[in-house]
Amino acid sequence: MAKFKKLPKNSVKLLKRTLKYFAPYKMSILISLIAMAVVAATTGASAYLIKPALDDIFINKNSEYLMLIPFAYFLLVLAKGAGRYSQNYFMTFCGLKVLEQLRNELFDKIICLPLKFYEEQQVGMLMSRVVNDVAEIRGSLPAVVKGIRQFLTMVALLFVVFYQDPYLATWAVLVLPLALFPFIHFGRKLRKLGKKNQVLISAMTIFLQEKFSGIRVVKAFANEEGEKAGFRVENSRIARLALKQTIVGQMSSPIMELIGATGIGLVIWYGGSQVIAGQQTAGTFFSFVAALVMLYDPVKELTSANNSLQKALAGAERVFEILDSPEIVVEQDGTQILEEVHEVSFNDVTFSYDKTGQPALKNININIKEGEKVAIVGPSGAGKTTFVNLVPRFYEQQEGQILINGIDSRSLTLKSLRKNVAIVSQDAFLFDTTIADNIAYSSEGCSKEAIENAAKAAFAHEFISEFPNGYDTVVGERGVRLSGGQKQRLTIARALLKDAPLLILDEATSALDSESEKVVQQALENLMKDRTSLVIAHRLSTIITADRILVMKNGAVVDEGTHESLLANSSLYQRLYTLQFESHEELL
Ligand code: ADP
């Protein structure tokens, strides 16, 4: 597994970087902040209103206030409601936009990573980053804003209590520093748990992805029970952690409440004695207590804002790991544009999959001319697949050069290079979409007629037309099941439509029934016509009709020539011929 570089655990930096994503939505954030100020001010004002209500209506019996205060209260609640609604709306809007943006960035990075990366990472882990981790980040700004709102509300309420009675207020807020302790302590704990949670969810995604795609093996070995047990382990880990998160999250509230109650108790004791002694009006006292009780809410909310923020930062850490990691370099791109292919040369090319291991290709020197059909044969593990994979730069050689029309392939743009190479491999992979879209994959905007012509040349038109929906039939997971031969012909049609001058073909080893075999063979012949072809050969007809055959062994080309000359001179070729090809003769 490629190791990710760990980010410094600097929350402020992390937060700053996360919040940068919200920068394009300044207007929405501004409206949100104004709305937030309205909410804070109206909360403070409604606490203040209790004083004139009690003193002027109930004690002084002023009928003018009797009309005014209920109306003022109604207006305050209206403004508060509108403020809260706008704040939530605009915050959610920004959050979703940022989520969208981050998902795009992640996908853009991941899809451009070299094949090597995919071989080293579990697909489920990547899926989990794009689906789960990134979603947590969305909560960062709303949590910050919520925190600010609660803070402002707190300030407004504190203003009221100090305005009503500074002496009494001092008693009440004496306990506030105490309230900070659980706030910080639980916040830290929650962040840790949040990160762990993301790891576990990622593990479960990896598990599911692997088991579902390997379902045939699971069933063939009748290991459903084993897999069930495995899943239970993953699942119970997540459940236990979620419970822990809840316990820690919930613990902070009662502790804060207790601290709050201590303050309120002190106030009732002291303020009550003052009212009894006639030194203060009941109105002031109740207004004071109301503000104090209301204070409890923002303090509590501040805790929950902190909880969401910690979760968001835990997600951000994992997402930025991918976006930043220098080990995950996006494919190196050249600048020259390749228009046509006239010649492909390997110039002393050596390649190994990992730096320390045995090279999979050793000092390969080959020159392929335009229109040539070159077959590659050799025992399994000889390096045939590796050899052809270097041409479109799926991997990069450590030594030597691959020249296309005399230009080092590393100085060509990957896009233009790969545009000129059509690949038909053994596993005929089709996407979960219509037949037409599969044939026209990456050839957007091509006409229906072009798709049909490609299908005809690939001998696929006939069976496609037999489906009720014809070219609009969905194949793959949601659609019809195609036979091996049919799938192959669709991938051949796809390559035909791409119409690239250089063809790389990995012939299927598993023999189709002789009828399909013949049709696929004819389709392939159409595909190879007038193209420079590099074919990993498993069929006699291919080697017989090839212009040249390369015989590979242990990463090197050991013999080279036509079928006849190799049969006469190469002992390895003779052996291979007897073992692999002769038996296929009857199929031709
Ligand atoms: P062939 O196609 O002739 O069967 P390959 O090119 O697939 O041979 O393999 C050549 C050598 O490289 C083998 O020793 C194989 O184990 C190794 N190899 C192939 N693919 C990888 C890979 N993705 N990572 C590491 N080693 C690989």
Atom 13, ligand 1: residue with shortest CA distance: 381
Classify 390 as helix, strand or coil. helix
Atom of ligand 1 nearest to the CA of 354: 25
Residues 6+ apart with CB under 8 A from 187: 303, 306, 307, 309, 310
pLDDT band at 512 (very low <50, low <70, confident <90, very high): low
Q: Do 507 and 537 touch, CB atoms closer than 8 A?
A: yes
pLDDT band at 576 (very low <50, low <70, confident <90, very high): confident
Distance between CA 587 and CA 520 in Å, rounded?
A: 12
pLDDT in tens, 258-316: 877 787 787 788 878 887 888 877 777 777 777 777 777 777 787 778 878 888 888 88
Enter the tokens of residue 106: 């992640």
What is the separation of C-alpha 16 from the centre of its chain, rounded to a whole number of angstroms? 22
State what percent of residues in the chain have pLDDT above 90: 22
Counting beta carbons within 10 angstroms of the beta carbon of residue 32, is it exposed (0 to 12), middle (13 to 18) or buried (19 or more)? buried
C-alpha closest to that of 312 among 88, 91, 133, 104 = 133
Residue 99 has pLDDT above 80, yes or no: yes
- Give pLDDT tens digits for 394-431: 888 889 999 999 999 889 888 889 999 999 888 888 88
As a residue count, the chain comes to 588
Range of weakest confidence among 150-154, 353-357, 444-448:
353-357
Q: Is the dihedral of CA 139, 142, 148, 153 positive or negative?
A: negative
Residues forming beta bridges with residue 345, ordered by sequence position? 367, 403
Q: Encoding tokens for residue 204?
A: 């479960």
pLDDT bin (cut points 50, 70, 90) of residue 526 is confident
Report d(CA 205, CA 213) in Å as an integer: 12
Asked if the model's pLDDT at residue 468 lies above 50, the reply is yes
Average of pLDDT values for 242-266? 81
Write out residues with Cβ below 6 Å of ligand 1.
119, 353, 360, 378, 380-386
The pLDDT score that the predictor gives to residue 583 is 60
Name the one residue in this structure whose structure tokens are 């492909």. 344
Ligand 1 centroid, distance to 381 Cα (angstroms) = 6
For 112-139, where are the alpha helices, taking DSSP H only?
Answer: 115-120, 123-128, 134-137
Q: Which residues contact 467 (CB under 8 A, 6 or more apart)?
A: 435, 473, 480
In single-letter form, the type of residue at position 123 comes to: V
Close Cβ partners of 446 (under 8 Å, ≥ 6 residues apart): 440, 497
Q: Which of 350, 385, 572 to mutate to test the pocket of ligand 1 (most atoms within 8 A of CB)?
A: 385
Question: Which range (24-28, 55-59, 172-176, 446-450) has the least confidence?
Answer: 172-176
- Which of 101-110, 128-137, 186-195 is modeled with the greatest confidence? 101-110
Q: Which residue has better confidence, 588 or 503? A: 503
| pLDDT at residue 374, rounded to an integer | 94
Q: How high is the pLDDT of residue 347?
A: 93
Summary mean pLDDT of the chain:
84
With CA atoms as reference, report the closest residue to 32 among 82, 100, 106.
82
Range of weakest confidence among 77-81, 107-111, 283-287, 572-576: 283-287
Q: Ligand 1: which of 351, 353, 550 to mutate, judged by most atoms within 8 Å of the beta carbon?
A: 353
Which atom belonging to ligand 1 lies closest to the Cα atom of 536? 2
Q: Residue 421 gets which letter from DSSP?
A: E
Grade residue 376 by pLDDT with cuts at 50, 70 and 90.
Answer: very high
In angstroms, the Cα distances linking 148 to 18, 35, 56, 78, 142 are 17, 12, 34, 21, 10
CA angle 271, 164, 269 (to 5 degrees): 10
**Residue the block writes with tokens 């990691």:** 325
Q: Under DSSP, is residue 272 helix (H, G, I), strand (E, B) or coil?
A: helix
CA 547 to chain centroid: 46
Cβ contacts of residue 52 below 8 Å, gap of 6+?
Answer: 65, 69, 283
- Alpha-carbon Rg for the chain, nearest whole angstrom, is 36
Sign of CA dihedral 198, 204, 208, 214: positive
Sole residue written with tokens 């207590």: 289
Q: With pLDDT > 70 as the criterion, what percentage of the chain qualifies?
A: 93
Instruction: Determine phi and psi for 345, rounding to 5 degrees.
Output: -130, 140
Kindly tell me the burial class for residue 534, based on how many C-beta atoms sit within 10 Å of its own C-beta (0-12, 13-18, 19 or more): buried
Residue 588, pLDDT score: 38
Q: What are the structural domains of the chain? A: 11-323 (1.20.1560.10), 421-499 (3.40.50.300)
> According to the model, what pLDDT value does residue 502 have?
93
Flag the least confident range among 93-107, 276-290, 504-518: 504-518
Helix (H, G, I), strand (E, B) or coil at 422: strand
- Asked if residue 174 has pLDDT above 90, the reply is no
Closest CA to ligand 1's atom 24: 353
The 3-state DSSP class for residue 8 equals coil
> For a pocket test of ligand 1, which of 386, 426, 576 has the largest count of ligand atoms closer than 8 A to its C-beta?
386
CA of 360 to the centre of ligand 1 (A): 6
Q: Does position 227 have pLDDT exceeding 90, yes or no?
A: yes
Q: Measured between alpha carbons, how far is 531 from 547 in angstroms, rounded to an integer? A: 12
Distance (Å) from CA 530 to ligand 1 centroid: 30
The protein residue whose alpha carbon is closest to atom 19 in ligand 1 is 386
Among 92-101, 104-113, 230-239, 336-345, whose mean pLDDT is lowest? 104-113
Rounded Cα gap, residues 21 and 317, in angstroms: 14
Predicted local confidence at residue 5, as pLDDT? 46
Longest Cα separation, the chain: 122
Looking at residue 443, what is its pLDDT?
A: 80
Residues 6+ apart with CB under 8 A from 331: 112, 113, 114, 393, 414
Q: In the prediction, which pLDDT does 48 show? A: 82
Question: What are 198-210's pLDDT values in tens digits?
Answer: 889 888 988 998 8
pLDDT at 262: 80
